[in-house]
Amino acid sequence: MSTYAPRHSPSVFSTPAATTLFRRLTWEGTVPLEVRVDPKELPANSDRGLECYYIQAPRVSYLPLLVPEIKRFLMDVVFDEAAARVIKEEDWWFESEEGSLLKWHWPIGLIYDNHIITLSARHNAPPSFFTPLRITLHLASPPTEKLLLAPNAEACKQAFMGQLKEADFIRWGNTKRMTGLRKAEQDGLWEGIKEREYHFLLR
C-alpha cells in the first residue's frame, strides 16, 4: 500500500490567474465618501448649499491624494475668489462625523472598514458597507500635536513605503524584497497609487 498522501488538484483560488484577478479587484475597489466642510469655517460669501462633496474613493488611495480634487470642487462651486486666495491647502485636515481625527496615513479602505465596523459594534448591528463615510473637512488650525506627520503627499509616500516594509517582514521575516528594489521601482509603486494606474505596479 502506498505511503504517499493522496494528491489533490490545486484550488482554483491558488492559480496565477486567480491571484491576478484578486489583485486587480482589490486595486479597483472603491468606497463612498461624503466630505463636508465644517460650517463654522466656511469663508464669507460661500455657497452654503453646496459645501458637501461625494466621491467614490479608491480603497488603496490616501486622503491627502484626494485634496486636489476636493479643492477644485470647492474653488469652482463653493468659495468666491476672495476666499480662494487666502485658503491654504496645507492647513486642511479631516475628522469623522463623530469628531475623531482620521488617520490620514492609513489607506482610505482601511479607514472606511475600521469606521463601519466600529459603528456596527457600537450599535450592535450588522455593518453596512454601502453607507458613505461622512468626513468633516477643516480648513484651518490643524492639531499638529496629534498628527504624526504633515498631511501631504510626500509624508504619505513615506508612510506607504513603511507599510510595505512591515508587510514584507510579516510575510517573509525580513524586508529584503522591498529594500532590494531600485529607487525607480519603489517610486513606481507609489506612482501607481498616486496616479491610480495599475500598470505602474507591474513594472
- 173 within 8 A of 75, measured Cβ to Cβ: no
Chain centre distance of CA 86: 27
| Tally of CA atoms within 13 A in the half-sphere of 170 that contains its CB | 6
φ, ψ for residue 95, nearest 5 deg: -130, 155
Collapsing DSSP states into helix, strand and coil, what is residue 180?
coil
Rounded CA gap, 34 and 49, in Å?
14
- 196 within 8 A of 56, measured Cβ to Cβ: no
Q: Name which of 45-54, 91-100, 109-118 the model is least confident about.
A: 45-54
Give the residue-averaged pLDDT of 30-55. Answer: 86
Question: What are the start-end ranges of the E strands in the chain?
Answer: 30-37, 52-58, 93-96, 133-138
Residue 45 pLDDT: 78
pTM given for the model:
0.80
With cut-offs at 50, 70 and 90, classify the pLDDT of residue 128. Answer: low
Q: Which residues of the chain are in CATH 3.10.20.620 domains?
A: 29-142
With cut-offs at 50, 70 and 90, classify the pLDDT of residue 199. Answer: low
Give the residue-averaged pLDDT of 116-141. Answer: 82
Domain 29-142 top-level CATH class: alpha beta
Fold for the domain defined by 152-203: Serum Albumin; Chain A, Domain 1 (1.10.246)
Helix (H) or strand (E) holding 17: helix 16-28
Q: Name which of 11-15, 135-139, 159-163 the model is least confident about.
A: 11-15
Residue 170 pLDDT: 94
Rounded CA gap, 157 and 105, in Å?
9
Helix (H) or strand (E) holding 85: helix 81-86
Provide the β-strand partners of residue 101: 95
Residue 66 pLDDT: 93
Mean of per-residue pLDDT scores for the chain:
83
- 57 within 8 A of 99, measured Cβ to Cβ: no
Q: Which residues of the chain are in CATH 1.10.246 domains?
A: 152-203
